[in-house]
Structure 1
Amino acid sequence: MSEQSYKKDLQGKELSPETLMMSYGYDPKLSEGSIKPPVFLTSTFVFKTAQEGKDFFNLVSGRTQTSENHKQGLVYSRFNHPNSEIVEDRLALYEGAESAALFSSGMSAITTCLMAVLQPGDVLLHSQPLYGGTETLFLNTLARFGITSVPFQNGYEQESILDVAKRIEKGKKVAAIYIETPSNPLNTLVDIELISQVAKQISTNQNGQIPLVICDNTLLGPVFQKPLSLGADLSVYSLTKYVGGHSDLVAGAVVGSQELVKKVKAQRNAIGTQLDPHSSWMLGRSLETLQLRMERANESAKILAEYLHQHPKVSKVHFPAFFPEGSVEHQVYQKQCTGAGSTFSINVGSNEADAFRFLDNLAIFKLAVSLGGTESLASHPASTTHSGVAQKVREHIGISDNLVRLSIGIENVNDLKYALELALEAI
């Protein structure tokens, strides 16, 4: 791409991400003047010379470094392709990062990232609750490769987390701290800056080796939360959710420094978890409206959460903006979030039967898993997304049988409110 397509300013004035999502990293002159990038449906790319082929392979394999004389080129679509590179550049820009890598799903992003930075015998310290798929990956899959996962529940008390770390078997190294904030589905928060400090403290007991801080930023990012600016080393996403935003693709991403993302991309190249050109193109389309969609859904979610908070058949609304003023949770929310997002859970009635009756009578909302789409969704975490999590763990972290998760879309908020009202009457 031309240097002009990577300009971030206009005569010295820095442009906002919303503006740059329309054009950054793409030059129409190189594609017959097409205002949008074409979908590059090819498996392989032609080299100009044999030497260029050798140079590109040395770069993509990490044997040589990118420089003025050696610039990365296109080789094979498992390694890179124009559609993924455009979106990677734009996503990194949105979060203020140096680099990004796309993946075939959020879980493939998490798995590839951890494979790149962990070794057998390492310890992965992680917040809890987590998305059910992540919890299952840590407990079942990583354990088979000799990686021990150790959870902590209190994400804003330093001593509590350090106490958990102290109980780790002597001689074992905490290689990474993985956090999900807000958590899915309970919206519990983890203090990202605090975790960065905890990582440094842990390093004093393991020969100065600082654990990497990896943050799942799916629920708020990159619009309402930027973990890298708060001390995280890597930010991971299910792009299927808000960034994709239309429930029509599955994708993931890892965002961070050039050095760390290069390691992750090398692992991606080895195991083939790259995202395809068409899904990459669709993500590029979605990034153009990301701010609009997330802000609209955020506004509607606040109105609906306040309505449900007052309803006698709803015992609790798990919404970040409802943390009591002056509480530690509220302070963390004010410090690191610029919005509450539009996915939250409610405790409705007293048991599974009440939750199911509510869901079966809920109009407009689609009864489906996932979140972050233009349409509103409702689901029952205990029997779906978190059904693979042991019941004892579910009960401990608050995923009860009467918990319902709502993902608020961009429909008319009064219509959604009326649909909720009718469903609650059925209990």
Structure 2
Amino acid sequence: MSSDHRFRPETLMMSYGYKPELSEGAIKCPIFQTSTFVFKNAAAGKHFFEVAYGIKEKGPKEELGLIYSRLNNPDLEILENRLTLWDEAEEGAVFESGLAAITTVMLEFLSPGDLLLFSTPLYGGTDHFIHQVLSRFGIMAVPFHAGQGETELAKMIDSSGRSDRLGMIYLETPANPTNALIDIEMCAKVAARYRKPDRPVPIVVDNTYMGPLWQHPLKLGADLVVYSATKYIGGHSDVIAGACLGRKSLMARVRSLRTFLGNMAGPWTGWLLMRSLETLKPRMETQARNAAQVAEFLQAHPKVEKVYYLGLLDSNDPQFAIYKKQCNSAGAMVSFDIRGGEPEAFRFLDNLKLIRLAVSLGGTESLAEHPASMTHCDIQPDARVGMGITDKLIRLSIGVEYAQDIIWDIDQALEKV
């Protein structure tokens, strides 16, 4: 038998990076609920700070010394190391929310006068930050949508008048809530046209909809991947967190700004996410199986106009080729247009018995929401409709319940419409 056997990520989630002998033999990592750490001596404290602030380089086998929980903490260090395994990233950073991760990345790589190219639709919070916050700093934001190719994107950048100031290409794929796909490799080619030694033009992908299991953007040409760890990573609707993963040179900048914005996740958050990672794969696989059955049921229902689910893409649809190239699964997010409009959508939502009427996604329980009036209500109505987010659209996050129970609930609620 070979001695160089390589464990898979789902196996390593149980113990990777944790040494029980340093914690009285505890089988699971304790919660290091502390604000600060004691130095062995003054020289050690000096060295830790010099490394933390970039005054000196860390040795090849040297671990970053523990200083203060806004900088580092054992729970967060172990968690970040485990997260890197799924995406084969060099480094990771955990935040107090997904939006904290997203906004920190944008603030680090975008400066006043820069150009941001971003895909639509986006999560409502990200869209708000781009249009209501970044705009205050003179950052021009240019949207594009699924189906636009390399030539079109380059033309948009060139016609902006700021092609020499392209700072980032930001993608959310699949898109929330329509499941529209953006070709990551194509966007990487666009970024390469405008990249300079002093301007990295990172491709940043929000991979929340696919989680760490079903899509790996870094392998497809992305430079950084961000998550709302609240969703599939947390998986139990009991923690708010975010994460960013990528290569060391870029992550050093992200981690540095995180320190000074103060949005590092806390020890309790880290411990909860470590717990959740142990069941990530079985949870997500069950959710995906359930979602496939729900989507098939909805597609055949007379009160459903259209279903937005990757597993139902026609092989002749241009999106199908992207799906097969980028995704390992159709995921567990299903959206659909109900026949009618807001009154019919609300009647359906108000008559659900098992599925909870709540925003968020990726938890063990199934959830339903109305994007146009809830998660995406801050987007201008005309723009919202152009993204496919109409009053008849309903978004479902499929959980781990027995699939036929979920379908029964959807069926009985549709009967009330």
Say whether the fold is shared (TM-score over 0.5). Answer: yes
Aligned mates of 2:35, 2:116 — CA distance in 1: 36
Q: Structure 1 residues 48 and 196, CA, compared in 2 at 3 Å: closer, same or farther?
A: same
Q: Distance in 1 between matches of 2:282 and 2:390?
A: 33
Deviation at 1:219, TM superposition (A): 0.9
Check the 8 A contact 1:127/1:155 in 2, yes or no: no
Deviation at 1:170, TM superposition (A): 4.2
Deviation track 1:211-243 (CA, whole Å, cap 9, x = no partner) reads 210000101121000000000000000000000
Distance 2:371 2:317 in 1: 27
1:58 maps to which of 34, 50, 74: 50
Which of 55, 59, 67 pairs up with 1:75?
67
Distance across 2 between alignment mates of 1:303 and 1:70: 50
Instruction: Map residues 41-56 of structure 1 onto 2, 5 A cutoff.
Output: 41-56=33-48
One-letter amino acid matched to 2:298? L
Structure 1 partner of 2:243: 253
Runs of 4+ that moved beyond 4 A: 206-210
Q: Read off the aligned partner of 1:390 and give its amino acid letter.
A: Q
Deviation at 1:376, TM superposition (A): 0.3
Q: What does residue 320 of structure 1 align with?
A: 310
Equivalent residue for 1:286?
Answer: 276
2:183 paired with 1:191:
yes
List per-residue Cα deviations over 1:366-396 (Å, max 9, x = no partner). 0000000000000000111001111111011
- Per the alignment, residue 40 of structure 1 pairs with 32
Structure 2 distance, partners of 1:219, 1:67, is 37
| TM-score scaled by length of structure 2 | 0.97
Rounded Cα–Cα distance in structure 2 between residues aligned with 1:190 and 1:75: 41
1:338 and 2:328 aligned: yes
Deviation at 1:154, TM superposition (A): 2.9
User: Is contact 1:183-1:189 (8 Å) kept?
Assistant: yes
1:139 to 2:128 alignment? no
Moved more, 316-325 or 288-297: 316-325
Query: After superposition, what is the alpha-carbon deviation per residue over 1:276-313, rounded to whole angstroms, capped at 9, x for unaligned?
Result: 10011000000000000000000000010011011111
**DSSP 3-state at the match of 2:214:** coil
- Please list, as runs of the form range in 1=range in 2, the aligned pairs for 1:6-17 lying within 5 A after superposition: 11-17=3-9
Q: SS of the residue aligned with 1:222? A: helix
- Whether the 8 Å CA contact 1:155–1:161 is kept in 2: the answer is no
Residue identity in the other structure for 2:235 = G
Supply the RMSD in Å over aligned alpha carbons: 1.4
- 2:381 equivalent in structure 1: 391
Match of residue 11 from structure 2: 19
Note the C-alpha offset of 1:168.
1.0
- Going from structure 1 to structure 2, the CA distance change for 1:128 and 1:310 (only over 3 Å counts) comes to same
Structure 1 unaligned segments of length 5 or more: list them. Answer: 1-9
What CA distance in whole angstroms lies between the structure 2 residues aligned with 1:155 and 1:234? Answer: 22
The reply on whether 1:160 has 2:152 as its aligned counterpart is: yes
- Within 1, Cα distance between the matches of 2:190 and 2:35? 44
Paired with 1:309 and 1:213, the residues of 2 have a C-alpha distance of: 34
Separation in structure 1 between the aligned mates of residue 48 and residue 62 of structure 2, nearest angstrom: 8
Pairing 1:232–2:222 present? yes
Q: Take 2:61 and 2:275, find their aligned partners in 1: how far apart are those partners?
A: 33
Contact 2:89 2:247 in 1 (8 A): yes
* % same residue: 47
**1:237-269 deviation line (CA, Å, top 9, x unaligned):** 000000000000000000001111111000000
Check conservation: 1:41, 1:277, Cα contact below 8 A. Answer: yes
- The alpha-carbon distance between structure 1 residues 335 and 69, as it changes in their structure 2 partners (threshold 3 A), is closer
The answer as to whether partners of 1:301 and 1:343 remain within 8 angstroms in 2 is yes
1:311 maps to which of 301, 304, 307: 301
**2:359 alignment counterpart:** 369
Partners in 2 of 1:154 and 1:326 — Cα distance? 16
Q: In the superposition, relative to structure 1, how do residues 201 and 140 fare at CA in structure 2: closer, same or farther (>3 Å)?
A: same
SS of equivalent residue, structure 1 residue 223: helix
Residue number among 77, 91, 97 corresponding to 1:85 in the alignment: 77
The CA deviation at 1:418 is 0.6
Given the alignment of the two structures, is residue 178 of structure 1 paired with residue 173 of structure 2, yes or no? Answer: no
What CA distance in whole angstroms lies between the structure 2 residues aligned with 1:395 and 1:349?
A: 16
Unaligned residue ranges in structure 2 (runs of 5+): none
Q: Contact 1:156–1:191 at 8 Å: present in 2 too?
A: no
Letter in 1 for 2:181: L
* Change in CA separation of 1:70 and 1:64 when aligned onto 2, cut-off 3 Å: farther
Contact 1:55 1:70 in 2 (8 A): no
Q: 1:124-167 CA distances to partner (integer Å, 9 max, x unpaired)?
A: 10001101110001000111122211100135522222222122
Q: State the alpha-carbon separation in 2 of the partners of residues 226 and 281 from structure 1.
A: 24
What is the alpha-carbon distance in structure 2 between the residues aligned to residue 243 and residue 147 of structure 1? 32
Q: What is the alpha-carbon distance in structure 2 between the residues aligned to residue 183 and residue 106 of structure 1? A: 15
